[in-house]
């Protein structure tokens, strides 16, 4: 793992273009904050990781400490040293080379970052993009495979604005060079900030090598707005789905499917269009039909939907759920619930059939209660099971029952008001035609 490299992740910027009270790097793609992905990839390469914070620093730090240990969070002296150059000042770096990443680039991958480590003779290796239109980016002037100059868009003259080689914003520095030159930065530029990019000119003036590394735009996309966020998520989703399809999962109209980054899908599984899989969900040899949602649950050898919803902490094995069935915090083993049901806080065993319109009444407004249903239970349509309640093996609930006490093996439970018919009532009420 340890590649003899320190990593700094810049995450102090305000992200004003996001137009949000949430810090930019805490906006999520595929279920996780953008900064999560940068730290995760960094941890694959290094044990010396520094995350630079400033705006809403404690909120960002707390969010990341839910996932990671051993990360150094440092506060930028933003009042005195704003800008990407200011962000890397005053670091205590452990290794000979230092990779600088941006916290708002959630698509970067370890395999791409490793390419920065191949250059041994350079003071700086910097990522560049070869674009059709580089507007928004700093422009990079390259000669004889060496970076000559880098100019921020706001500081460009007309000729420089036409350059389509852009600074992707990720750099690998010789740590000694970085430490010796940061104090030489100034803020004489349009934004009155300390630019990390000015280190390039300093290196060139010292006759040191600055190597450009052309990188793939899709992996180095920076997110500055909610439009960028949506586009980055689409790319990220495509990556997730491609991996599953390569592993043998069938997806119908994959562009309409949404799968969060922690989901696992195994075996011969099928996802139809509009399926949403969230959180720590695992799907094994199962068929998820159109417009179904599964969150933090396990489905094994089961089929659900169309339009079924499996909410957190559910485990379904050898089970069939039809349309408009909602399951929450329940364990279903060999169960059929074909239509329109709510099964919450329940355990239901093999051979049991849940009729249409069955509801577990699991909540009395204060607490939640359990429903336990044994093997081979037949629950007639439109039944309400008032928890806490146990229906033992081999029992029948008559359609339309409100069940409020336990049912023993072999019994039928029926609660039904006696019906009657009134002769010719229709004609008396509406009159005869
Ligand atoms: C920067 C580069 C530009 C490059 C572009 C690529 C500079 C001066 N410019 O511009 O050449 O084309 O990235 O995306 O570096 N940050 C801090 N502290 C600060 C300011 C920013 O930590 O004081 C962090 C931000 O949170 C962000 C990163 O640095 O993660 C980049 O900042 P941003 O303002 O997005 O830089 P750009 O203007 O995009
Ligand atoms: Mg900026």
Helix (H) or strand (E) holding 374: none
Instruction: Name the one residue in this structure whose structure tokens are 């094995």.
Output: 317
Residues in Cβ contact with 230 at an 8 Å cutoff, skipping those fewer than 6 apart: none
Torsion of CA 323, 327, 332, 337, to 10 degrees: -30
State the pLDDT at residue 120: 81
The residue ranges of every structural domain in the chain are: 5-214, 226-413
Q: Which atom of ligand 1 is nearest to the CA of 166?
A: 12
Best mutation site among 7, 8, 11, 13 for ligand 1, i.e. most ligand atoms within 8 A of its Cβ?
Answer: 13
CA distance 132 to 119: 27
- Protein residue whose Cα sits closest to atom 16 of ligand 1: 13
pLDDT < 70 stretches in the chain:
1-3
pLDDT tens string 306-318: 999 999 999 999 9
Q: How remote is the CA of residue 15 from the centroid of ligand 1, in Å?
A: 10
Task: Return the ligand number nearest the Cα of 169.
Answer: 1
- Name the residue with tokens 């019994």: 411
State which of 99, 155, 169, 190 you would mutate to test the pocket of ligand 1, scoring each by most atoms of that ligand within 8 A of its C-beta: 169
Task: Please choose, from the candidates 347, 399, 338, 336, the residue with its C-alpha nearest in 3D space to the C-alpha of residue 369.
Answer: 347
Q: What atom in ligand 1 is closest to the CA of residue 11?
A: 26
Q: Is 201 exposed, middle or buried (0-12, 13-18, 19+ CB in 10 A)?
A: middle
What are 251-279's pLDDT values in tens digits? 999 999 999 999 999 999 999 999 999 99
Q: Closest ligand 1 atom to the C-alpha of 150?
A: 11
Helices and strands: H and E segment counts in the chain = 9, 36
Half-sphere exposure of 340 (CA within 13 A, CB side): 8
If you ran DSSP here, which 8-state letter would residue 418 be given?
P
Q: Which two tokens stand for residue 108?
A: 């970067």
The whole-model pTM stands at 0.93
Cβ neighbours for 174, distance < 8 A, ≥ 6 positions apart: 96, 97, 98, 122, 123, 124
List the residue whose alpha carbon is closest to atom 35 of ligand 1. Answer: 224
User: If you ran DSSP here, which 8-state letter would residue 340 be given?
Assistant: E
Please count the other Cβ atoms lying within 10 Å of the Cβ belonging to residue 175: 17
Catalytic residues: 339
Residue 136 C-alpha to ligand 2 middle, in angstroms?
9
The residue assigned the tokens 């560049």 is: 128
User: What ranges make up the beta strands (E) of 109-251?
Assistant: 124-130, 139-143, 146-151, 165-174, 210-214, 250-251
| Nearest-CA residue for atom 3 of ligand 1 | 138
Angle 182-186-192 from CA coordinates, rounded to 5°:
130
Give the residue whose CA is nearest to atom 38 of ligand 1: 137
| Cα 248 from chain centre | 22
How is domain 226-413 classified at the CATH fold level? UDP N-Acetylglucosamine Acyltransferase; domain 1 (2.160.10)
List the structure tokens of 259: 């799968």
Pocket of ligand 1 (CB under 6 A): 10-13, 52, 76, 78, 82-84, 86-87, 102-104, 137-138, 152, 166-169, 195-197, 222, 224
| pLDDT at site 118 | 87
When the candidates are 3.90.550.10, 3.40.50.2300, 3.40.50.300, 3.10.150.10, the CATH number that belongs to 5-214 is 3.90.550.10
Atom of ligand 1 nearest to the CA of 191: 8
Distance 205 CA to ligand 1 centre (A): 23
pLDDT at 1: 56
pLDDT the model gives residue 136: 85
**Alpha carbon distance 100, 170 (integer Å):** 6
Q: How many angstroms does the Cα of residue 14 sit away from the middle of ligand 2?
A: 9
Distance CA 288, CA 320 (A): 10
Residue nearest to atom 37 of ligand 1 (CA): 137
CA of 200 to the centre of ligand 1 (A): 15
């Amino acid at each position: 793992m340890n590649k003899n490299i320190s990593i700094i992740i810049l995450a102090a910027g305000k992200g004003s273009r996001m137009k949000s009270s949430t810090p930019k790097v805490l906006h999520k793609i595929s279920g996780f904050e953008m900064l999560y992905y940068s730290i995760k990839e960094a941890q694959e390469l290094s044990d010396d990781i520094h995350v630079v914070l400033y705006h809403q620093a404690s909120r960002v730090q707390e969010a990341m400490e839910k996932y990671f240990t051993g990360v150094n969070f440092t506060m930028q002296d933003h009042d005195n040293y704003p800008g990407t150059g200011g962000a890397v000042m005053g670091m205590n770096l452990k290794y000979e080379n230092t990779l600088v990443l941006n916290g708002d680039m959630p698509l970067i991958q370890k395999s791409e970052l490793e390419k920065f480590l191949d250059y041994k003779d350079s003071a700086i290796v910097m990522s560049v993009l070869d674009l059709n239109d580089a507007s928004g980016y700093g422009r990079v002037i390259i000669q004889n495979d060496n970076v000559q100059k880098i100019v921020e868009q706001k500081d460009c003259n007309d000729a420089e604005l036409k350059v389509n080689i852009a600074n992707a914003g990720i750099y690998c520095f010789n740590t000694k060079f970085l430490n010796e030159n940061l104090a030489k930065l100034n803020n004489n530029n349009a934004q009155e900030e300390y630019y990390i990019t000015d280190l390039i000119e300093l290196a060139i003036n010292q006759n040191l090598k600055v190597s450009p590394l052309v990188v793939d735009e899709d992996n180095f996309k920076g997110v500055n707005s909610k439009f960028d966020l949506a586009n980055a998520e689409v790319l990220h989703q495509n990556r997730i789905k491609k991996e599953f399809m390569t592993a043998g999962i069938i997806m119908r109209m994959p562009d309409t499917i949404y799968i969060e980054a922690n989901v696992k899908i195994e075996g011969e599984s099928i996802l139809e269009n509009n399926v949403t899989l969230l959180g720590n969900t695992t799907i094994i040899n199962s068929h998820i039909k159109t417009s179904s949602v599964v969150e933090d649950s396990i489905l094994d050898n089961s089929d659900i939907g169309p339009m079924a919803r499996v909410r957190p902490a559910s485990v379904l094995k050898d089970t069939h759920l039809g349309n408009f069935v909602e399951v929450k915090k329940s364990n279903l083993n060999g169960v059929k619930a074909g239509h329109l049901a709510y099964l919450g806080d329940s355990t239901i065993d093999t051979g049991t059939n849940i009729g249409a319109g069955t509801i577990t009444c699991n909540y009395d407004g204060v607490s939640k209660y359990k429903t336990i249903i044994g093997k081979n239970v037949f629950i007639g349509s439109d039944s309400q099971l008032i928890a806490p309640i146990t229906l033992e093996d081999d029992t029948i609930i008559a359609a339309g029952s409100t069940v409020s006490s336990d049912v023993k093996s072999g019994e039928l439970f029926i609660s039904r008001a006696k019906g009657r018919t009134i002769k010719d009532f229709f004609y008396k009420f509406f009159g005869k035609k």
